[in-house]
Amino acid sequence: MAHTPGPWMAFIKGDTIAVHHNGTPDVVKWGGFDDSHRSLTEHAANALLIAAAPELLEAAQAGMQALAITEGESPDQYESDAHRMLREAIAHAT
């Protein structure tokens, strides 16, 4: 499954929050219909996190490549929680 490539930008105006890709139609959008207990501030923070997703995935993939290079130097030393977390996050996102 492929996602919309980055960069993504968060758009926050009033009670409308959206995540755009280079001025194209929304990747994610919500506004005024949410009946959850979350505040507009929390929704805005979530939009910023969603907008960072493509760059976070790219950073995780680069981190996995860097860890793969160093693993050959000392087996099992670099198979850390961070390595496991990166592998799981990449699998979840792709």
The pLDDT profile of the chain, 94 residues, written as one tens digit per residue, is: 677 888 888 888 887 788 888 777 677 766 655 667 778 888 788 888 888 888 888 888 888 787 776 555 554 555 577 777 788 888 877 6
Burial class (CB in 10 A: 0-12, 13-18, 19+), 83: middle
Return all residues near 79 (Cβ < 8 A) that are at least 6 apart: 71
Amino acid sitting at position 13:
K
Show the tokens assigned to 92. 């979840």
pLDDT for position 76: 55
Domain edges within the chain: 8-51, 55-93
Give the count of alpha carbons within 13 A of 87, CB side only: 9
Q: Order across the sheet with 16-21: list the strands.
A: 8-13, 16-21, 28-31
Cα gap 26→32, rounded to integer Å: 16
